[in-house]
Amino acid sequence: MPREGKQNRSGKAAILELEELQNLFSELDDPYRAIAQLCYLTAGRIGEVLLLEAGHVTGGYLLFPAPNTKMKVSRTAKVTAPMAKVLERVKPPSGYLFPSSGKSGHITARAVEHRVKRAAELLGYDGVSLHSFRRSRLTHLHEQGWSLSELMRVSGHKSLAALQEYLGVDQSAVDEKLAAIDAGFEVA
């Protein structure tokens, strides 16, 4: 089961393990699968991903322009092999990566949220929201030993306090580390 999770639209988005993410992705069809995968791979916010245009994929990077980010500062994400596969599936020659015939010109966050919530319910995952992808990615990188300053560069956070709100710390992992470090400690 996912770690943490919103209850009645309150609390933090659930953090999904890799297997849970794969299960969730498999319940989605493109373009919704691609959107969710890009949110995870870039640790991007849904609004940032939905505003991506074909021209933002350049020189091996995905550019999140300043006007499209929460902090109004541009950031980039390296196009890794998995991300390249996602982009190959959906990348139009021009315009938004995820176009729609609606007023906005791109698929809306509400439409993606509807699909993701339905997929999560089918799988029995509680507390999953669109922010689960961002929180999951940052937590997974942290668990793999990435420094907080590296994570800030990935996420675009400007403060450690804001970044740390995203990271889910597994209490059982903390307990195991404490037990291991204290194994040879002698108390007289």
What local confidence, expressed as pLDDT, does residue 166 receive?
73
What local confidence, expressed as pLDDT, does residue 101 receive?
87
Q: Beta strand pairing status for 61-64 and 57-58?
A: antiparallel
Distances (CA, A) of 113 to 33, 68, 110: 11, 19, 5
Indicate the helix (H) or strand (E) that contains 62: strand 61-64
- Taking the C-alpha atoms of residue 155 and residue 12, their distance in angstroms, rounded to an integer, is 17
What are the chain's domains?
A: 18-181 (1.10.443.10)
Helices 18-26 and 109-123 pack at an angle, to 10 degrees, of: 110
**pLDDT tens, position by position, 65-80:** 988 888 888 999 999 9
**pLDDT tens, position by position, 107-143:** 999 999 999 999 999 999 999 999 999 999 999 999 9
**Which residues 6+ apart lie within 8 Å of 109 measured at CB?**
46, 47, 50, 130
**177 falls in which pLDDT band (50, 70, 90)?**
confident
**pLDDT tens, position by position, 78-98:** 999 999 999 999 988 899 999
Give pTM, 2 decimals. Answer: 0.85
Q: Give phi and psi for 184, each to the nearest 5.
A: -100, 5
